[in-house]
Amino acid sequence: MLSYEEYDMVEKINELIEKKDWKEIIKKLTDLPSSDIAYILENSSKETELLLFRLLPRERAAKVFSELEVDEQESILRNIGNEKVKQIILELPPDDRTEIFGDLPGNVTQKLLNILPPVERKEALTLLCYSEDSVGRIMTPEYIAVRPTWTIKKALEHIRELGKDAETVDMIYVVDDRWHLVDSLPIRKFILGNPGENVESIMDHKFISISAEKDQEEAAKKMKNYNLVALPVIDKEGVLIGIVTIDDVLDVLEEETTEDFHKGAAVSPVGINYTTASPWMLYSKRVVWLAILLVAGFISSMIVARFQLTLESVIALAFFIPVLIDTGGNTSTQSATLIIRAISTGDLTLRKWFSVVKKELLVGLLLGISVGAVFFLRSVIFKDGIPLAVTLGLSTLSIIIVANLIGAILPIILTRARLDPAIISSPLLTTIIDALGLLIYFYIARLIFKL
């Protein structure tokens, strides 16, 4: 039975829950011994118990969890997806959610993931405050772990016993008494090892792991770079809480590639298969971008209107506008595509930005000279006059150099600003280059024709 002080504390906490003053609740709980908190939890309503437990800092949560009875521990884990608690957690902004409802201790996360069926497990990972694109969202607890002090014979028996339920038995993970990951070993080392020796004898302590908070794309890169079929996932203290397998990573890569394709065509990522998307959804994903591009296109119209007198003086200038701006748009799209792909594969890092500028400046110069020469010769052959031929040649050279540099530099700037470089879509980039190309073209024409 609760004492008067404990009863009063529960009442005050319930009032704070009604006010949603989470930080004050955390402050009050911090001053109490772990055993007292455990007692309060056991004597609170189910929703209050779950909320209070989720509000506890990592270390305190681990201590309180160990103070609870086994059936109470399982009750908390099985009810972590309680609808009311879920609503309270999810209604907070992501940053506040992560700050207030911190991630659970590794041992609690392990038990939670192991006790829940796959569908509920996926829901629980949302409530553990792992961000949508984090490794924590796609990890699975279905792996095999052994202790370094076990004999290889005992480890093999353990593998045979649990292997049928594991996601993969290609890699076996070695953990200490506190479940910290200390090594990752291929199954062949156990098969070829001396059964009487300890697991420690075949360890080299060289393993690759990833934090649950890291981005899923980083997991994909690691698995590709190190040719891994499974990647162990650890928490902040190095506790093994799950693994990511190659099939999970392939799903992530497919989603990312699809998303980049959509952005590259100036379409907001649909998020579901095209065949299941409704006409209204497809409309809503496309109309905003089309409106933005339309408004941006007005700038080109204003530039043409601004140089109306120039066009009236030399009518032939108007004939080549579509070809020039298309050339600039195509050039920028080419360079942007190459740079975005190099960044996404890890081939290009932000530290190499200056070398990119030098390289693309040279490439743009070579392309500009080549294509500009074609324009110049075409005008000479068709007897358009030397002034127009020079205007077209110099404009093409200038537009291609500028377009090539912009196409290469913008993805780097966006990446440095922690934005997805794929938003520099072909239509958007082309619209920007159209306006710049027209300015370059008309100013060079004015200079050559002395208008």
Least confident of 74-78, 240-244, 393-397: 74-78
Q: What is the pTM of this model?
A: 0.57
* pLDDT score for 195: 92
One-letter amino acid for residue 236 of the chain: K
Both 428 and 294 in one domain: the answer is yes
Whole-angstrom distance, CA of residue 214 vs CA of residue 233: 10
How does residue 196 score in pLDDT terms, banded at 50, 70 and 90? very high
Is 136 part of a structural domain of the chain? no
Domain that includes residue 319, residue range: 274-449
Q: What average pLDDT does this structure show over 221-227?
A: 86
- 308-335 burial, b at 16+ Cβ within 10 Å, e below that, comes to eebbeebeebeebbeebbebbbbbbbbb
Kindly state the tokens that stand for 40: 């309060």
> Does pLDDT of 114 surpass 80?
no
CATH number of the domain encompassing residue 236: 3.10.580.10
* pLDDT, tens only, 4-23: 666 677 777 778 877 878 88
Query: Of the candidates 192, 226, 245, which is a domain's last residue?
Result: 245
Kindly state the tokens that stand for 352: 């190499």
* pLDDT score for 152: 94
CATH number of the domain encompassing residue 112: 1.10.220
Residue 450 has φ and ψ, to the nearest 5°, of 55, 50
Task: Count structural domains, the chain.
Answer: 3
Kindly state the tokens that stand for 56: 């506890």
Determine contact, residues 83/72, Cβ cutoff 8 Å: no
DSSP 48-84: HHHHHHHHS-HHHHHHHHHHS-HHHHHHHHHTTT-HH
Mean pLDDT of all residues belonging to the chain: 80
Q: C-alpha angle with apex 245: 241 to 250, nearest 5 degrees?
A: 135
CATH number of the domain encompassing residue 391: 1.10.357.20
- Residue with the bigger pLDDT between 115 and 60: it is 60
Closest CA to 293 of 424, 116, 132, 106: 424
Kindly state the tokens that stand for 293: 């591009």
- 96-115 burial, b at 16+ Cβ within 10 Å, e below that, comes to ebeebbbbbbbbbbbbbbeb
Closest CA to 148 of 210, 211, 206, 197: 197
Both 284 and 433 in one domain: the answer is yes
Both 429 and 288 in one domain: the answer is yes
* pLDDT, tens only, 242-259: 899 888 777 776 666 666
Both 290 and 423 in one domain: the answer is yes
Both 240 and 306 in one domain: the answer is no
Whole-angstrom distance, CA of residue 150 vs CA of residue 215: 34
